[in-house]
Amino acid sequence: MNKFFLLILPVAFATAANAQQKVLTTNDYARAEKMLSYNTEPLIDRASIRPNWLPNGQFWYRVLTPQGSEFMLIDPAKKTRHAAFDQQKLAASLSVASGKTYTSFMLPFRSFSFSADQKALIFQADGKQWKCDLQTYAVTPDDSAMAQAAAGSLGGRQPRGSGNQVVSPDGKKAAFIKDYNLWVRNLATKQETQLTTDGEKNFAYATDNAGWTSSDAPILLWSPDSKKIATNKQDERKVGDMYLVTTNVGHPVLRSWKYPLPGDKDIAMIQRVIINVDQPKTIVLQIPPDAHRSTFSDDISMEDLNWSADGAQLAFISTSRDHKQAKVRIADAATGAVREVFEETVATQYESGWGSANWKFMPKSNEILWFSERDNWGHLYLYNSSNGKLKNQVTKGNWVVTRILKVDEKNRQIYFMAVGRLPENPYFSQLCKIGFDGKNLKVLTPESGNHTASLSPDSKYLIDTYSKPNVPPVTVLRDLNGKMLVNLEKTDVSRLAATGWHPVTPITVKAHDGKTDLYGLLFTPTNLDAQKKYPVIDYIYPGPQGGGVGSWSFAASRSDHQALAELGFVVVVIEGTSNPLRSKSFHDMSYGNMSENTLPDQITGIRQLAQKYSYIDTSRVGIWGHSGGGFATATAMFKYPDFFKVGISESGN
């Protein structure tokens, strides 16, 4: 009889499925625990870096080594890399000044700031602020304020959880919600000014509620001159309620909030407004309310809005409830008048990108850079913003633009991330640049692997980190032509490997159609005996907005996949058809038929792996997943019980 469990921890699955093979011991669990991230990550040296850019164009970063922390200073112009300061001298002086003992690689701070002349550094330790003279290395208490970024996120587009206010680009004001209305606070004087007065419950300003996600943070976008705010007045008065009960000690607490469901007649609607801040005035844009929708997500994070530099115009996208239509519009910020520029209609669904919207309003040249999959691949198109006519397709080919990193309007060049250009793996990302006219395409990060890139504040340099699921990262500094300037770090996993850890195995199989290549990861026990047979755990997330692998960069543990493998399993993760970052036709393969949940791909793929790896036992296959993966797991047990013998559905939707 098949075993079917709902909402059970994966370790319970490990015990149930493996009971026929052997009884797990405390040593087995100890070996598995060694492969969890909190044990593996401390054994990885010289891994990722976070640059701290200085006004003079230099940057410093902290990196972990077997001895402890090192602080490095990079001068891109001179192509130099050296210690940011003498850690041994600082440790000695701080020990004397504080009365505590510190060593050079175990300093009590992770961050610091240079003085304006870069002859001293300021840091905090043990609740005090200290200053170190970098000429004498004298350390003394310091009472001056340490330079820190203002709270919130400058200009909007803040990440979730960054606070309940949004700071203006000039850093002088912060917008926040109070009593369903929008207010602004002068950060110097703390004076608060009410900007709107007609907000009410379920019809409030800057509301952050998409049903499935919500917060107290305001959803808005400051104009570049910090004089205006673009936001919405969200009408949820006809939306149905969702209820959750929290049961802690004592009486249960009932939480209710507005949550539209598929098929509901009424959903949240947004009335778009522009608010003048200095002399509070609300200008309602002269269009009917839009459906609470976005071109890449439904949480309305302001990615679908672009201000002109002078704050005179606001370009935005209106998306239909079914995501089949996106209208590009431009509003006059003074009058609220709106004109339609162009629209895109798609038979299935329109998306403007993954993680961020791939479009840009360029009022100086009367152009709009637009993302579309109209030729079956995700590419950039250049439009005339005055008449809405297409000027030219910018990028083309059997690959996908995933994110615009920078648009150089002066030199008419676009820097963007793209996937699908490396034959080894279509999910590997690279940084490229191209002219507005679609000419002179150049790959700036050519090495095989998955690249992540960030630009310097002055956009003269880029920091490139590349790796593979089974190859540790290398981080380099490049110029904007892709020329390598400085080797920054090469990750060392020798201490981790000494524990018995081994890297994951990338895999390629054919989809259930027998033609389409699918990619994934295979995890095996570190004490694998290839002469034995091992049961399989299939971890699934069917998407279609994302897949089970997640990042294709290096990771030592990959959640608990390797830990589960240590308990006597082969763990498989296969990116099925209908997930993003491939062609439009690939992504649409489950459109209107999400009930299959990529399960035919999982079954076909595991059977192919068993032909290649004789230790895989296809008579003992289990499956588990969270959220959409929980839904897929339940489907697997009901539709394919002859193949999947155990299923654990966690938080299935």
Model confidence pLDDT, tens digit, residues 334-384: 999 999 999 999 999 999 988 788 999 999 999 999 999 999 999 999 999
Q: Residue 162 pLDDT more than 80? A: no
pLDDT recorded at residue 357: 84
Query: Is the peptide bond preceding residue 544 cis, with omega within 30 degrees of 0?
Result: yes
* Rounded distance between C-alpha atoms, residue 304 and residue 652, angstroms: 30
Confidence at residue 415, expressed as pLDDT on a 0 to 100 scale: 97
Contact between 644 and 632 under an 8 Å Cβ cutoff? The reply is no
pLDDT at 8: 40
Q: How confident is the model at residue 442 (pLDDT cuts 50, 70, 90)?
A: very high
Question: Is the predicted pLDDT of residue 611 greater than 60, yes or no?
Answer: yes
In sign, the C-alpha dihedral spanning 235, 239, 245, 251 is positive
- Residue-wise pLDDT for 9-29, tens only, equals 344 444 444 444 578 999 999
Q: In the predicted model, what is the mean pLDDT of residues 85-103? A: 97
Which pLDDT does position 389 carry in this prediction?
98
CATH number at 3-43+496-650: 3.40.50.1820
Task: Give pTM, 2 decimals.
Answer: 0.91
Per-residue model confidence as pLDDT tens digits over 262-287:
999 999 999 999 999 999 999 999 99
Residue 127 pLDDT more than 80? yes
What DSSP character marks residue 42? Answer: G
Q: Which helix (H) or strand (E) holds 37?
A: helix 37-40
Q: Domain-by-domain residue ranges, the chain?
A: 3-43+496-650, 52-141
Q: 143: pLDDT confidence band, cut at 50, 70 and 90?
A: confident
Residue 211 CA to residue 653 CA, distance in Å, equals 14
Residue 154 pLDDT class (50, 70, 90 cuts): very low
Task: Give the Å distances, CA to CA, from 172 to 162, 169, 228, 345, 483.
Answer: 18, 8, 13, 41, 39
DSSP secondary structure string, 253-295?
A: EEEEEE---TT-S---EEEEEEEETTTTEEEE-SSPPEES--S
Q: Give the DSSP letter of residue 96.
A: H
What is the per-residue pLDDT across 459-499, written as a single tens digit (0 to 9) for each? 999 999 999 999 999 999 999 999 999 999 999 999 999 99
Q: Is 262 exposed, middle or buried (0-12, 13-18, 19+ CB in 10 A)?
A: exposed
